[in-house]
Amino acid sequence: MTDPIKYFASRVSAHEMNRREFIGRSMAAGLTLAAATSLYGTAAMAQEPKRGGHLKLGLQGGASTDVIDPAKSASQFTFAMNRNWGDTLVESHPTSGLAVPALAESWEPNADASVWTFKIRKGVEFHDGSELTIDDVVKTLNRHTDEKSESGALGVLGSIKGIENKGGDLVLTLSEGNADLPLLLSDYHLVIQPGGGYDNPNAGIGTGPFKIDNFEAGVRATFVKNENDWRNDRGFVDSVEMIVMNDATARMAALSSGQVHFINRVDPKTVGLLKRAPNVEIQTTSGRGHYVFIMHCNTAPFDNNDLRLALKYAMDRETMVEKILGGYGKVGNDFPINETYALFPEGIEQRAYDPDKAAFHFKKSGHDGSVLLRTSDVAFPGAVDAAVLYQETAKKAGIDIEIKREPGDGYWSNVWNVQPFSTSYWGGRPTQDQMYSTAYLSSADWNDTRFFNTDFDKILLEARAELDQAKRKEMYHDMALMVRDTGGLILPMFNDFVNATTTNVSGFVQDIGNDMSNGYVATRLWLNS
């Protein structure tokens, strides 16, 4: 089976693709009608979820400072925990990235997208037996946005001015129109809790497919099936055990010895070795996270666009993906958006490594001497290697890059967003608007390239309230070009999420939303044997 067809088959088994879609796409990929029809049958039948069993996950990212309170979720571990025991109002579609209903059944904006009305699902029960009400929803959102909030979602929800219960519906009033509001509510912090979680934020009572059985911070968490789950297309196993394994080798050993069924964060350097284990399947998903080299557009010598262009052309993106990501990634084009985002601007020429152009712009910039790049391995895995690789390719263009290795501890407070040229990492955001607003709007706290462009800001705000998708896409096209050609961002690569499962589990969905099948991994997997 070729790769695209295998991918379509996995979509079928995950109920993401129907028969007609599957056959159409498989034929386009070169299969005959008869073959496609029979393949659909096997994919759909062989993959009927089995129920029962005990699922074990070995996860990187847990610490003894973790708490259940979803407002304070900061680690990969608590992220995946939230998805097990809780639900958000809205979810993002695994392949299209569009908003799909969860605890909110449907929603409707007003004409300028500044007031949104959400219908809340009826007949949903919390783990403690109480019924989900509009009150719980209002209080939850209040807890994440009030003036005492310590929530990680505070930044996302900044524009919400009013949270009201109007005749049993949730009405959100924004300070300005935002066409993406439903997707913002899919943030993993925004788990709906009874009474908003004001009484006991760490209770872990939610509406998710699994109930928390035991939680030891930094060690493990166990879950049992929620028999009163309001959905029947998830939570196939009887119980789940999530074990914190922060050592990459320990995770690989645990998986290949069959002690766990799933691990996250497979090191690209050793994925080739893990592949050789007969009982292991590598699960990669295109992601929105990207490894970046960032220049401050307002600080000499980077205040010269020719120097910035020279440094952009001096980057060998293909080699970066090959060497730093072990091939598990896609090349970037110096704007922070890739095709996993809805309304991705197509048709923008891919910037390639070009020492001649780099040398031309470098000469034109009039800069003399070396350029200082600060880096550390906490910026992204392999950041120091990437800096050295970059130094080599830049040298061929006659640009001398001096590398300064900074201590990992405190890198995010002392170097990133402080020093004029450094390596860094961005996780994706649910929408293009969020990504640009977080780091490219003139007034953003995290404008880590010091990109100040009033035209850009204006289009960004207009696009946010634009409900006409075609117009919006056009605007995002213009914005991408501005960042690409005048910004301070060098984006050599988007990293794939590399996970692995044993071959006796099925149901893994390549969810573009985030790592670990957007955190839903335990709710989607089932055991075959």
Partner 1 sequence: MANPLAGVRAARHRLKETHPLSVLIAERLGLSVLLLWAVSVLIFAGVEALPGDFAQTYLGQSATPQAIANIRADLGLDRPITTRYFEWLGGVVQGDFGNSWASGAPVTEQITKRLGNSLFLAFFAAAISVPLAVGLGMIAVHYRNRIPDRVINIISLAAISLPEFFIGYILIVFFAVQMGVATFPSTVYDSMSLSERMSAIALPTATLVLVVLAHMMRMTRAAIISVMSSAYMETAELKGLGAFKAIVKHAAPNAIAPIVNVVALNLAYLVVGVVVVEVVFVYPGMGQYMVDAVTVRDMPVVQACGLIFAAVYILLNMVADLVAIIANPRLRHPR
DSSP 3-state of 491? strand
DSSP 3-state of 173? strand
Distance CA(366)–CA(5), nearest Å, equals 52
* Smaller CB separation from partner 1, 356 or 445: 445
- The yes or no reply on residue 63 touching partner 1 (CB under 8 A) is yes
Distance CA(209)–CA(194), nearest Å, equals 16
Closest CA to 158 of 191, 181, 140: 181
- The yes or no reply on residue 216 touching partner 1 (CB under 8 A) is yes
Cα 376 to chain centroid distance, Å, stands at: 22
Cβ 448 to partner 1, closest distance in Å? 10
Cβ 277 to partner 1, closest distance in Å? 9
Quick note: the x/- pattern for partner 1 over 391-430, rule CB under 8 A, is: ------------------xx-xxx------------x---
- The yes or no reply on residue 200 touching partner 1 (CB under 8 A) is no
Q: E-strand spans in 7-120?
A: 54-59, 90-92, 99-101, 104-109, 115-120
> Would you say 503 and 280 are in contact if contact means Cβ atoms under 8 Å apart?
yes
Cβ 451 to partner 1, closest distance in Å? 18
Cα 473 to chain centroid distance, Å, stands at: 21
Longest Cα–Cα distance in the chain: 70
- Rounded to 5 degrees, what angle do the CA atoms 223, 224, 226 make? 120
Report the site for partner 1 in 249-268 (rule: CB under 8 A). 249-250, 253-254, 256-257, 259
Cβ 289 to partner 1, closest distance in Å? 12
Closest CA to 448 of 479, 474, 483: 483
Report the site for partner 1 in 490-529 (rule: CB under 8 A). none
- The yes or no reply on residue 282 touching partner 1 (CB under 8 A) is no
Cβ 157 to partner 1, closest distance in Å? 10
Q: Of the candidates 30, 41, 162, 218, which one interacts with partner 1 according to CB under 8 A?
A: 218
Report the site for partner 1 in 145-164 (rule: CB under 8 A). 147-152, 154-155, 158
Report the site for partner 1 in 314-343 (rule: CB under 8 A). none
> Would you say 24 and 15 are in contact if contact means Cβ atoms under 8 Å apart?
no
* Smaller CB separation from partner 1, 265 or 351: 265
- The yes or no reply on residue 18 touching partner 1 (CB under 8 A) is no
Distance CA(485)–CA(184), nearest Å, equals 29
Chain residues binding partner 1 by CB under 8 A are: 58, 63-67, 74, 147-152, 154-155, 158, 202, 214, 216-220, 243-247, 249-250, 253-254, 256-257, 259, 409-410, 412-414, 427, 445
